[in-house]
Structures are given as structure tokens and as C-alpha cells.
């Protein structure tokens, strides 16, 4: 049998590129093996010969061959030419062309976890007027950098080891004081679990507090992150109706399927922005008590109240263990910080902390330490005071522009807080098509209809203002006006 030989022209080098020549040779030969161009047993040129063919130094080829040998791709014996190692792939099969039957497939659980409820009509990339986007132009970068440098001194701290999966104690203490002063939420620091996102908190609690097939209540319209977490856990999701006063549990019946969890956003309903009054909060607590349900209180954008007096958090009104309080720093600081938290009953602290370790949803330690310092030195409160004013100005500017340009087509109310507004169309329009058209123009608005569970889907758009400049607001409203004119005239 004729011995396989090294084919000509299998390697080309880019001598002006950033990748070192030894690595280019290593990568080229490795990919040739993966593609089946160099089958097992092929004899490679000697280092001297290949160096001559490629017009490179011999040490360059030596380095590439050493990398290939370390990965088991070639075999080298004293006095013999290097060869492609035996048994890498069966004859005629390469790593680059797997058979369809060998491709991995998602399990049923995997498919449930991977479902995308956002999809068509929801922003998929960053752009102007994006809901939930904070005012990064107002962020105190220098002060935050100082806090990060202080946090870097944790390099010899035990906090960097395998411990504190539920959060750095210093941040828990700061949060305990902040929540007591600002929201009437009184909890021991140990009751506060620090997670990497609101989504992580919802996934954690969904897995821990209910079983597949259990019923949960979710506001209608409601937050898609909660819907995703509940669907992934295999729950039966029942719509909880909302109106201009937020979620209303008065008409809900339990029968033989009482809910295990009830998710609400009472401070500022997402996405409509309604603030739940005290009487309705008490009614919700009574409904949950009768059903034996745990309320997940997402205190959404409670930091931003532009008018009126804040209403007490459900957590402060409830009995022990009836409410779990959820929060995040995504809107007050930045989403990329990846720090959120939940306040849980004392009896759940230990098992949930262990579950956090098992699920790997702990937040970055140095970011937590920096945030603790940021709160301790007063920088967080100073920042909140600034952005409350900025958000109010931008919210009023957006609503004024919307009413001035689109007043005959929409209904929209000035925000009492929040970082976005929800406008509704007076006629039945395809809000997803309008959202897609806005996306193509660089405006990251979202379709309101995506937030509905049932058949009724109110038509409108969710438009962010917190991170928008006056120029972006003006351009976005003008673009939407032109699109509506084209839609109506069509």
C-alpha cells in the first residue's frame, strides 16, 4: 500500500498579520487534520524541510510541532519524521463534518429553558429609547473606579475563596440599612441573598418554591422575565388582571388549584407604570394568605418616584414568610454590573444559599465589594438624587413630544416614576411591525402586545427615556410619527 504523503499547498502564512508564525503553522495543520485533509499516518516534513518550504526559521517550525505534539495531534519518535497520530478519527470521517445523527439535541427541559418569549417585536440589541436602559451619561465613573480599586485590595481576602455564595457581608449590611430607610423593609443582613441578576433571582426562587405543574399568578400584561422563569420551571401560569391601579386579585378564584407563587410589581407596574394603592396591596396579601401562596414582590423602579408619596412595600405590610422582596441595581446604576438581591425568610436562608451554590448564580465578589463602598461613602444616594431629576425631565420631554406629534393616534400618561412609558394606539395597529421598523432606524422600542399571556393583546409600544438624550427623543418620536403616517395612509 502506498504510504500517505503530505499534500502540497496545505499551509499559507500571513507575514503581515498579528498572529505569530508558529501559531499560524500550528493552527493550519490542526485544522487540516480536523477537515480530514491530513488523515492518520500521514508523514509530515522534517522541521528543517518545512522551514525551507515556508521560508521561516527552523525554531518556528519546532515550536509549532511541539504544540501539536502536546495536543496529541502528531507523534514524534527519535530518528523518524513526525506523523499524524493514529486513531484521531475513523477513516473517511472528519471532526468538521459530523453526521446528523451525532449532533446533540436539546432535551424537553432544555427546550423549555431555551424558549424566547421576547422574539419578534422585542428589542434584540441596544439602541436609543430602549426600555430599562439607565442614564449612563450621568454615571459617576471616576468615583466608581475608585471603589473598584479599593475592592481590588481583596486579593488576599478570604472573600475571594469558595465562600459567601449568597453575597459579600459588607454589601448585605449596606443593603439592610438602605432598604430599612428607603422602603420600610426591615431584614437582617443574613436574610439578603445577592444574585447576579433579577432573572437569576426568579429562576432560583422558581426552582425552590414550587414544582412542575403548580399554578402561579403573573400580572397581565406582565414582565417577560418572570414569564420565562415560570415557563422554564414547568408551571401553569394564570393571568392576574391589571388596571390603572396595578394588579387586582379581587376577581381571582383558587378552587382546587391555589397558586404557589404570585408575582407582582406594585411600586411601578411593568410595563404600564401603575402604582398599586394600599387598599389593593392589603387585598392581595389576603388573597395570598388564603391560598397559602408566596408573593414575589419585584419592587420595580421604586427608587424613581416623581410625584406623590411612596407606598409601603408589600414586604413591610406582610406577615413573616408571606412575601419575598426582589430588587436590582440595573436601572439605578447599570445592567452590566450584574448585581441583584432578594430578601427571604430566615428559614429559607440556608437552603437557598446552598441552592445558589449548586446553581452557580452568585455575583462577582469584587463588584459587590465596590458597590458596598459606593453605598457606604454616600455616592449611591448622591447618584440617585441626580438621576431622579434627570429621569423626570426626560420622561416629561418624551411624553410632551409624543402628545405633540402623535396626539391623535395614541394615549400616553406622564410617568409618575419609572424609566419608560407605555403608549397605546387608539386603533388596532400591528405594534410588532412598528417596533421592527423602529429597530431598523436605530430605536430599541418594544411591542406592548408581547407582554400579554392571553388572546387579548393591547396594541402599543414601550419606550425608554432614562438613557435618552433630547436629540434621541426628538428623532425617535419623529420617526414613529412618519411610520404611523405611512401605516395609516397604506
pLDDT in tens, 232-274: 999 999 999 999 899 999 988 877 789 999 999 998 889 998 8
What per-residue confidence (pLDDT) applies to 470?
Answer: 92
| Arithmetic mean of pLDDT over the chain | 86
- pLDDT interval class at 477 (50, 70, 90): very high
Residue 311's Cβ-side half-sphere holds a number of Cα atoms within 13 Å equal to 22
- pLDDT (tens digit per residue) in 446-461: 999 999 987 778 899 9
Cα 464 vs. chain centroid, distance in angstroms? 17
What would the mean pLDDT of 219-224 be, rounded to a whole number? 92
What per-residue confidence (pLDDT) applies to 68?
Answer: 86
Q: Side by side, which strands form the sheet with 340-343? A: 192-195, 340-343, 323-328, 294-298, 261-264, 215-220, 236-243, 246-247
- pLDDT (tens digit per residue) in 79-91: 777 888 887 765 5
| pLDDT(95) > 80 | no
Count other C-beta atoms under 10 Å from residue 330's C-beta: 20
Could you tell me the end-to-end alpha-carbon distance of the chain, in angstroms, rounded to an integer?
74
What per-residue confidence (pLDDT) applies to 155?
Answer: 56
0.85 surpassed by pTM: no
Q: In this structure, are strands 294-298 and 323-328 parallel, antiparallel, or unpaired? A: parallel
What would the mean pLDDT of 7-35 be, rounded to a whole number? 81
Count other C-beta atoms under 10 Å from residue 92's C-beta: 8
What per-residue confidence (pLDDT) applies to 116?
Answer: 74
| 229-238, 278-287, 480-489: the lowest-pLDDT one | 480-489
- pLDDT (tens digit per residue) in 340-357: 999 999 999 999 999 988
Count other C-beta atoms under 10 Å from residue 110's C-beta: 11
What per-residue confidence (pLDDT) applies to 382?
Answer: 94
64 cis-preceded (ω within 30 degrees of 0)? no
> 372: Cβ–Cβ under 8 A, 6 or more apart, which residues?
168, 170, 171, 173, 174
What would the mean pLDDT of 403-432 be, rounded to a whole number? 88
What per-residue confidence (pLDDT) applies to 252?
Answer: 87
What per-residue confidence (pLDDT) applies to 5?
Answer: 55
- pLDDT (tens digit per residue) in 47-78: 888 888 888 888 888 888 888 888 888 888 77
What per-residue confidence (pLDDT) applies to 125?
Answer: 64
> 346: Cβ–Cβ under 8 A, 6 or more apart, which residues?
188, 190, 191
What per-residue confidence (pLDDT) applies to 395?
Answer: 92
Phi, psi of 325 (to 5 degrees): -95, 130
d(CA 144, CA 154): 16
Amino acid at each position: 500500500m502506498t504510504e500517505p504523503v503530505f499534500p502540497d499547498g496545505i499551509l499559507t502564512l500571513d507575514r503581515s498579520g498579528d498572529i505569530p508564525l508558529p501559531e499560524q503553522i500550528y493552527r493550519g495543520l490542526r485544522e487540516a487534520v480536523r477537515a480530514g485533509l491530513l488523515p492518520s499516518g500521514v508523514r509530515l516534513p522534517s522541521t528543517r524541510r518545512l522551514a525551507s518550504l515556508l521560508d521561516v526559521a527552523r525554531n518556528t517550525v519546532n515550536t509549532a510541532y511541539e504544540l501539536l505534539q502536546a495536543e496529541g495531534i502528531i507523534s514524534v519518535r527519535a530518528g523518524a519524521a513526525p506523523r499524524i497520530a493514529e486513531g484521531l478519527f475513523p477513516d473517511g470521517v472528519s471532526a468538521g463534518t459530523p453526521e446528523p445523527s451525532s449532533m446533540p439535541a436539546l432535551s424537553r427541559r432544555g427546550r423549555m429553558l431555551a424558549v424566547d418569549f421576547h422574539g419578534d417585536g422585542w428589542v434584540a440589541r441596544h439602541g436609543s429609547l430602549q426600555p430599562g436602559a439607565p442614564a449612563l451619561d450621568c454615571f459617576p465613573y471616576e468615583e466608581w473606579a475608585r471603589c473598584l480599586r479599593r475592592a481590588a485590595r481583596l486579593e488576599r481576602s478570604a472573600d475571594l475563596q469558595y465562600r459567601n455564595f449568597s453575597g459579600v457581608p459588607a454589601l448585605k449590611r449596606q443593603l439592610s440599612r438602605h432598604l430599612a430607610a428607603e422602603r420600610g423593609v426591615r431584614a437582617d443582613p443574613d436574610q439578603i441573598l445577592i444574585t447576579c441578576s433579577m432573572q437569576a433571582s426568579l429562576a432560583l426562587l422558581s426552582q425552590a418554591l414550587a414544582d412542575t405543574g403548580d399554578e402561579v399568578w403573573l400580572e397581565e400584561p406582565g414582565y417577560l422575565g418572570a414569564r420565562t422563569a415560570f415557563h422554564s420551571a414547568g408551571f401553569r401560569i394564570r393571568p392576574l388582571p391589571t388596571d390603572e391601579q396595578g394588579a387586582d386579585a379581587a376577581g381571582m378564584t383558587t378552587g382546587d388549584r391555589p397558586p404557589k407563587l404570585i408575582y407582582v410589581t406594585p411600586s411601578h407596574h411593568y410595563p404600564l407604570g401603575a402604582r398599586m394603592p394600599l387598599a389593593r396591596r392589603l387585598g392581595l396579601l389576603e388573597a395570598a394568605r388564603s391560598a397559602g401562596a408566596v408573593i414575589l414582590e419585584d419592587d420595580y423602579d421604586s427608587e424613581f418616584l416623581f410625584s406623590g408619596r411612596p407606598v409601603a412595600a408589600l414586604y413591610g405590610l406582610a406577615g413573616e414568610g408571606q412575601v419575598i422582596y426582589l430588587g436590582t441595581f440595573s436601572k439605578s446604576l447599570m445592567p452590566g454590573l450584574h448585581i441583584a438581591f432578594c430578601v427571604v425568610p430566615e428559614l429559607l436562608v440556608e437552603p437557598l444559599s446552598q441552592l445558589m451554590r449548586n446553581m452557580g448564580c452568585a455575583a462577582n465578589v469584587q463588584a459587590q465589594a465596590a458597590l458596598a463602598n459606593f453605598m457606604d461613602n454616600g455616592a449611591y444616594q448622591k447618584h440617585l438624587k441626580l438621576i431622579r431629576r434627570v429621569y423626570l425631565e426626560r420622561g416629561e420631554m418624551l411624553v410632551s413630544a409624543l402628545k405633540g406629534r402623535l396626539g391623535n393616534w395614541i394615549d400616553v400618561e406622564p410617568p409618575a416614576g419609572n424609566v419608560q412609558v407605555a403608549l397605546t394606539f387608539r386603533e388596532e395597529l400591528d405594534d410588532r411591525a412598528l417596533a421592527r421598523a423602529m429597530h431598523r432606524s436605530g430605536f430599541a422600542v418594544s411591542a406592548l402586545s408581547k407582554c400579554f399571556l392571553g388572546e387579548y393583546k393591547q396594541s402599543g409600544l414601550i419606550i425608554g427615556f432614562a438613557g435618552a438624550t433630547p436629540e434621541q427623543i426628538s428623532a425617535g418620536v419623529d420617526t414613529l410619527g412618519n411610520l404611523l403616517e405611512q401605516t395609516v395612509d397604506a
